[in-house]
Amino acid sequence: MRSLPRRAGTGAAVVALLLPLLAAEPGVADAGPPGRSDSLVRAFSAASAEYRVPRSVLLGVAYLQSRWDGHGGAPSVSGGYGPMHLTDARTALARSARHHGAAGHGPGEDRRGDDRRPLPAAARAERAPVAGRVPARLRTLERAARLSGIGAERLRADPAANVRGGAALLADAQRRLGRPAGGSPAAWYGAVALYSGAGERTAARAYADEVFSVIRSGMARTTDSGARITLAADPSAVPPRGERAGAGPRARRADGDDGSGTAGVPECPRTVSCEWLPAPYQELPGGGYGNHDKADRPASQRVRYIVVHDTEATWETTLRLVRNPAYVSWQYSLRASDGHIAQHVPLKDVAWHAGNWFVNAHAIGLEHEGFLADPDAWYTEAMYRSSARLVRHLAHRYDVPLDRQHILGHDNVPGTTPATIRGMHTDPGPYWDWAHYFELLGRPFEATAGPRARAVTIRPEYPVHQPVYTGCVKPGEVCAPHGSGAVRLHTAPSDGAPLVRDIGLRPDGGESTTQVNDTGARASTGQRYAVAERRGDWTAVWYLGQKAWFHNPADRPTAVGSRALLLTPRPGLAEVPVYGRAYPEPAAYPEGVPVQPLAPLPYTLAAGQRYVAGDLLPGEYLFAKTFDPSGHRVVRGEELYYQVQFGHRVAFVKASDVRPVR
């Protein structure tokens, strides 16, 4: 969320989560184009033979870490390098230090998002990330260098050397367990669990379970170096019961049915590693309280959204902050290296994370360890999969549709008033792979209408779609090339045309930019928009009250046809206001609850324009201003609102102002 400093159930469920990505072809790793690409294929075979690590184990571990990508030697969000994700956090932090404070929360920002009840001064203070002591799980590259004799710089930059270093770590883990090298893949379960670096036994076991589910199911993919790698399915790779049990006892966890999130029992699916690290709910000196609100969801209010954030801080800093009563909160944190989850706020309660009180009251917040603006920032497959398992579980529990109007990035949450738009956050940013995430969720973005449909779903090909961004390292400096799920929008059907303007971000009429945190002219994978016009290889959609053009050739489409309910102003209205929250009409507020002003945003939906509709929902306001929750009230009005995909962020319009068009 940049909420930090600047910044189910069975083996069948495991297989079901993997199905969308499985390749049917059996066999071994296939060589891609000659040169660098096939060297990675050979590297896995050579390292397997040298260290006597079963090749499927080596490939399974590498897939769960990096999907076999090398990322050009750039570190992951947790300081991991190369296909084997060998971690060297000291080096990564040294290069990332310049990003802290670059584009996150500004001083005095209210992540609670209720401008009628600002946070106490202590809660608004920024807390700079603290590197502190680097844990062993973030220093595996040092050990790999000692074990393999390969220099650290080469392990970071050379994918083939990186694979050798990872194989050396796995072989050493097997030796430390007193197990012989070689043998069947199933005999390496304990070594894989150790490789995760997880300090918690249940986290190590969950990681190993995921690796072995990949081995049993198989996988095929073309990597970022052009290598075509296939891991043949091996259904026999089932660790003996005693082997799995030896990896550690099962921690207490809830299956999500009791709805408690209390007494040390996290509300997580059984297929992930999850612990309970509560955020404090307590009164603060000088008045006020933190760092969340007591509620009774879904009885009090429906859970409508799941919001994806990145932490802009290390795992250790993240946990330190969320347990500070004078800070803010979110429901879950997810660790990058192994996908381990910590829950902090019960799901029935309201966490302060999105910067929009209406959204907070209806949302669950997930913080992913990472840094949006690192050059070539990449998130581990372990974290993507753990997050997808959690979101599927939560969506099923609360009947949240798995689409981009309900599974939001923090960068899709609207400002509450014109004054708050510029301070809204931009994470998880253009490098988050929404297409892959929704494949893991079992809801891939597919065409639901023909190529001339009146609505489209944004869906660029992430690995090869690499728009230029600036400002990752220094202002104006071009970021490293990287796959992106975001599409840039122009005022005319030409790459040379100016970008569309966002008057909310720039009231003075300034132009949008290619800066990595500038969302003013950006459409994201999975978002749906109404088509305004088509010219050749270009498509225009309605966006922030204007036509916004993007390149969309038929032979390599950037968007696909979509069935959707569209909204346009009702007859007789030249334009209608757009809001950042759906609050009740004044007559709905009872005595003792102050009327909340409904300030329109500086945009309008004009006659002739159309926007994709989301939920039809009642105006609601959660009145929660006291530490004692007995005084909290939910105010519901008669006024109904439609949620719309209005720009990069969602927005709301009154149902009485618009008419639906199918």
- Provide the CATH number for the domain formed by 31-88+139-245 in this structure: 1.10.530.10
User: CB pairs under 8 A, 24+ apart, for 149-155?
Assistant: 152/88, 152/91, 155/81, 155/82, 155/86
Q: What is the DSSP string of 68-131?
A: T--GGG---TTSEETTTTEE-HHHHHHHHGGGTTSSSPPTT--TT--TTSPPPHHHHS------
CA–CA distance from 248 to each of 8, 194, 244, 619 (Å)? 21, 11, 8, 49
pLDDT at residue 384, rounded to an integer: 96
CATH code 1.10.530.10 region(s) in the chain: 31-88+139-245
Distinct helix (H) and strand (E) counts, the chain: 15, 28
pTM (two decimals)? 0.88
pLDDT at residue 119, rounded to an integer: 59
Which amino acid does the sequence have at 105?
A: H
Cis peptide before 34 (omega within 30 of 0): no
**Residues making up the chain, counted from first to last:** 662
Kindly state the tokens that stand for 210. Answer: 């995921």
Q: φ and ψ at 642, to 5 degrees? A: -100, 135
- Spell out the residues 6+ positions from residue 209 whose beta carbon is closer than 8 angstroms to its own: 14, 271
pLDDT at residue 31, rounded to an integer: 35
Kindly state the tokens that stand for 637. Answer: 């009005």
SS3 638: strand
pLDDT at residue 24, rounded to an integer: 30
- The number of beta carbons lying within 10 Å of the beta carbon of residue 246 is 15
Pairing state between β 611-623 and 566-569? antiparallel
- Residues 605 and 603: their CA atoms lie apart, in Å, by 7
Which regions of the chain are under pLDDT 50?
1-35, 97-109, 122-131, 245, 248-261, 375
pLDDT at residue 378, rounded to an integer: 83
- Residues 593 and 632: their CA atoms lie apart, in Å, by 10
Contact 614, 570 (CB under 8 A): no
pLDDT at residue 111, rounded to an integer: 67
CA–CA distance from 148 to each of 46, 71, 89, 173, 405 (Å)? 13, 22, 19, 14, 48
Best CA proximity match to 343, nearest among 264, 259, 250: 264
SS3 18: helix
Strand residues in 219-304 grouped as ranges (E): 219-222, 228-231, 274-276, 282-283, 289-290, 292-293
